[in-house]
């Protein structure tokens, strides 16, 4: 089994391995191997489409955490022509689980903020697996205020299991750090577009996820609690995560149906990790279109619309 | 068990036959010091143990009754009914859990909001009902809180909220999470309007409520000994694999770490909040109530 592939991706992994084997063997060999390769490629494409046409919510949540899935800094590198990272909360430290800074999107200056999980072990430890501590949220808050002062649209990229549940994090006010960002974002007088690129885990995700638009990549998930956490509380067993993923309604398609997100961004066949550039391109085009829609609106109207949007979540007519 | 008891059929056996039964309703054990307390006196003391000062949990209606002026209070969003939009089902159906919680508490959901008066001045007050699915915040809780904030803005009066909750309600999925954004947006408006919001954290206040309306007060007060935090202690212990320090996530710990303005004894809350609001709103100081429980009545001796 190839560790870089999920169990349901194994048939794709096998076909890809065969193709590269053939390529390797074909050096200076007969022509008919090319034909075989192209036949296998077609088969691989068909197989991928077949597998991805019927993913369960649990499989999608595994894709959202795929070890090869592009992360915030991968998208920043390809979507923006310039990126100046800014560090620190000016009070305690710099939390590497949240990154952010000034960036240029097709010529226009913007502020970006996102969680960064890290890929290899060293990076993951440095980034605390993308689980921010209060200082991370306070750095984000500082960047939000900077965006307000200089009238920069804010783009956020959500990819976290959740805020870090640690002793120090509690001592330094994890709840207050998150709450304060929710409040600030609800009234920040610049366009705010939030995109869930991988895992949108609970309050730790929402702390950079309140704005004028919520977008989700096709195989991202967004949830009030992780399927494992929910299963261990309600089913008394983390083994039931599959059922919890189903019950919680965490996929982009489902959340769009429920009216809780605004747009699902299509990913390349087989997921963003199969073609990172295509995924980034899809994201970039959507962001540009959304920003175009929002940037013409006056700040006062923007805030009124945002208030009505937030106010409408789970709202019902009294009666 | 004696041979005689063993012979008896189970249905006529009584539990703990050797202990003398405490008459139902008259006596209650303190959950902290286990002192046996005379219930009418405990009620007069606002359910604070007179022996060890432990603040026992109280329901939302009782809380608001203690807090607001007598006979004051008009309910906000009373008719809102929780909905099961996800058709959520774990070992039980969410619908069934709702029905059971409604039956057990006589409430429709876990937050009660009233518009009333405090020392004859207008106020909107909300309180969580912990016995209703652990005071969890779903759409109705978020909606009632939002309506309460909007009512305060409309009446140009302050808002006070007493929280007692485990956090977001899982059975409503992302709808629950987004109540954090909704309630925070209303509180941001209150701040712009310069209308005071006082958050009173009571035992326990954790998760999504702590990380939204709980921590957004202009002033944040807490009852003594309340568990307050983002992550629950068990989750933290499992994550960091360390024993948690003594008193971790209790009110006193939070005060020490700068997260609260004051810890206030329940019996003083009404007076204290009255004074604080009068100062913030440039009003003359209200005439404080005599402290409850300051004139204890004779109670019969507890059962031996």
Say yes or no for a CB contact (<8 Å) between B181 and A206. Answer: yes
Chain B nearest CA to A273, separation (Å): 26
Cis peptide before A58 (omega within 30 of 0): no
Which has the closest alpha carbon to B219: B294, B137, B159? B159
pLDDT at B293: 60
Q: Tell whether the model's pLDDT for residue A64 goes beyond 90.
A: yes
Strands B262-263, A192-201: pairing kind = unpaired
Pick A315's closest partner by Cβ from B143, B172, B184: B143
Give yes or no for residue B9 having a pLDDT over 90: no
Chain B contact set for A214 (CB, 8 A) = none
Structure tokens at A233: 């509380």
Q: What is the pLDDT of residues B49-96, one digit of tens each?
A: 999 999 999 999 999 999 999 988 899 999 999 999 999 998 899 999
Task: State how far residue A220 is from chain B, nearest Cα, in angstroms.
Answer: 14
How far is Cα A39 from Cα B263, in angstroms, rounded to an integer? 73
Consecutive H or E run containing B19: none
Residue that wins the pLDDT comparison between A155 and B292: A155
First-last CA distance in chain A: 57
Cβ–Cβ below 8 Å for B236 and A315: no
| pLDDT tens readout for residues B129-159 | 999 999 999 999 999 999 999 999 999 999 9
Q: Which of A175, A186, A255 sits opposite B185 (nearest CB)?
A: A186
CA–CA distance, B7 with A304 (Å, rounded to integer) = 75
Would the pLDDT of B255 be above 50? yes
Of A170, A183, A225, the CB nearest to B170: A225
pLDDT at A287 over 70: yes
Cβ pair B91:A314 closer than 8 A: no
CB atoms within 10 A of CB B56: 17
Q: B237: nearest CA in chain A?
A: A166
Evaluate if residue A156 carries a pLDDT over 60: yes
Q: In the prediction, which pLDDT does A317 show?
A: 54
Q: Do A224 and B168 touch (CB under 8 A)?
A: yes
What values do phi and psi take at A263, rounded to 5? -155, 145
Contacts of A187 (CB under 8 A, 6+ apart): A303, B185, B188, B189, B192
Task: Judge: A202–B208 Cβ closer than 8 Å, yes or no.
Answer: yes
Q: Which pLDDT does position B17 carry in this prediction?
A: 45
Q: Rounded mean pLDDT of B4-33?
A: 66
Q: Cα B155 vs. chain centroid, distance in angstroms?
A: 25
Q: Is the pLDDT of residue A80 over 80?
A: yes
Query: H or E element: which one contains A257?
Result: helix A252-257
Q: For residue range A14-50, list pLDDT tens digits in order.
A: 998 888 888 877 665 666 788 888 898 899 999 999 9
List, in sequence order, every residue forming a beta bridge with A98; answer none if it has no partner. A115
As a whole number, the mean pLDDT across chain A is 94
The answer to whether A314 contacts B187, with C-beta atoms less than 8 Å apart, is no
Residue B178 to chain A, least CA–CA distance (Å): 7
Take residue B294 and report the two structure tokens written for it.
């300051």
Chain A residues touching residue B190 (CB < 8 angstroms): none
Cβ-defined contact of B175 to A180 (cutoff 8 Å): no
């Amino acid at each position: 089994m190839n560790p870089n592939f999920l169990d349901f991706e194994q048939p794709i992994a096998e076909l890809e391995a065969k193709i590269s084997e053939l390529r390797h063997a074909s050096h200076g060999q007969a022509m008919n191997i090319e034909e075989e390769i192209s036949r296998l490629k077609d088969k691989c494409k068909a197989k991928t489409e077949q597998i991805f046409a019927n993913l369960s919510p649990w499989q999608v949540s595994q894709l959202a955490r795929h070890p090869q899935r592009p992360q915030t800094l991968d998208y920043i590198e390809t979507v923006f022509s310039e990126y100046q990272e800014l560090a620190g909360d000016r009070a305690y430290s710099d939390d590497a689980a949240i990154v952010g800074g000034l960036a240029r999107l097709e010529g226009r200056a913007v502020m970006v903020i996102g969680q960064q999980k890290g890929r290899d072990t060293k990076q993951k430890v440095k980034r605390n697996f993308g689980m921010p501590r209060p200082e991370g949220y306070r750095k984000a808050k500082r960047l939000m205020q900077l965006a307000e002062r200089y009238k920069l649209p804010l783009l956020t990229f959500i990819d976290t299991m959740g805020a870090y549940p640690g002793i120090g994090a509690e001592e330094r006010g994890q709840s207050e750090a998150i709450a304060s960002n929710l409040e600030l974002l609800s009234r920040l007088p610049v366009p705010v577009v939030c995109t869930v690129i991988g895992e949108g885990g609970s309050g730790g995700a929402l702390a950079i996820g309140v704005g004028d638009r919520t977008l989700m990549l096709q195989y991202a998930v967004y949830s009030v609690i992780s399927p494992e956490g929910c299963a261990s509380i309600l089913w008394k067993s983390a083994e039931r995560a599959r059922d919890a993923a189903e019950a919680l309604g965490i996929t982009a398609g489902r959340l769009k149906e429920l009216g809780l997100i605004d747009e699902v961004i299509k990913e390349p066949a087989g997921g963003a990790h199969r073609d990172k550039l295509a995924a980034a391109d899809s994201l970039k085009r959507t962001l540009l279109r959304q920003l175009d829609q929002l940037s013409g609106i006056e700040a006062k109207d923007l805030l009124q619309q945002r208030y009505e949007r937030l106010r409408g979540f789970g709202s019902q007519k009294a009666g | 068990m004696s041979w005689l008891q063993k012979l008896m059929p189970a249905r006529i056996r009584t539990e703990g036959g050797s202990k003398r039964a405490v008459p139902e309703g008259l006596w209650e054990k303190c959950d902290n010091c286990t002192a046996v307390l005379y219930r009418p006196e405990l009620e007069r003391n606002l359910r604070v143990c007179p022996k060890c000062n432990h603040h026992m949990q109280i329901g939302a209606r009782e809380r608001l009754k203690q807090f607001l002026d007598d006979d004051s209070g008009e309910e906000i969003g009373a008719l809102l009914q929780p909905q099961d939009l996800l058709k959520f089902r774990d070992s039980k159906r969410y619908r069934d859990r709702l029905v059971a919680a409604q039956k057990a508490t006589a409430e429709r959901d876990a937050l009660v909001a009233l518009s009333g008066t405090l020392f004859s001045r207008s106020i909107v007050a909300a309180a969580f009902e912990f016995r209703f699915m652990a005071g969890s915040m779903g759409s109705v809780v978020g909606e009632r809180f939002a309506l309460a904030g909007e009512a305060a803005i409309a009446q140009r009066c302050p808002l006070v909220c007493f929280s007692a909750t485990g956090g977001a309600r899982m059975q409503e999925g992302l709808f629950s999470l987004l109540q954090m954004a909704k309630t925070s947006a209303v509180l941001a408006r209150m701040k712009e309007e310069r209308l005071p919001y006082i958050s009173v954290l009571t035992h326990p206040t954790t998760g999504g409520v702590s990380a939204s309306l709980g921590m957004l007060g202009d002033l944040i007060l807490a009852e003594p000994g309340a568990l307050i935090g983002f992550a629950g202690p068990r989750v933290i212990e499992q994550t960091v694999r360390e024993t948690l320090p003594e008193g971790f996530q209790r009110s006193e710990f939070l005060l020490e770490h700068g997260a609260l303005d004051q810890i206030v004894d329940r019996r003083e809350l009404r007076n204290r909040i009255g004074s604080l609001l009068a100062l913030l709103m440039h009003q003359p100081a209200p005439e404080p109530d005599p402290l409850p429980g300051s004139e204890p009545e004779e109670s019969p001796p507890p059962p031996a």
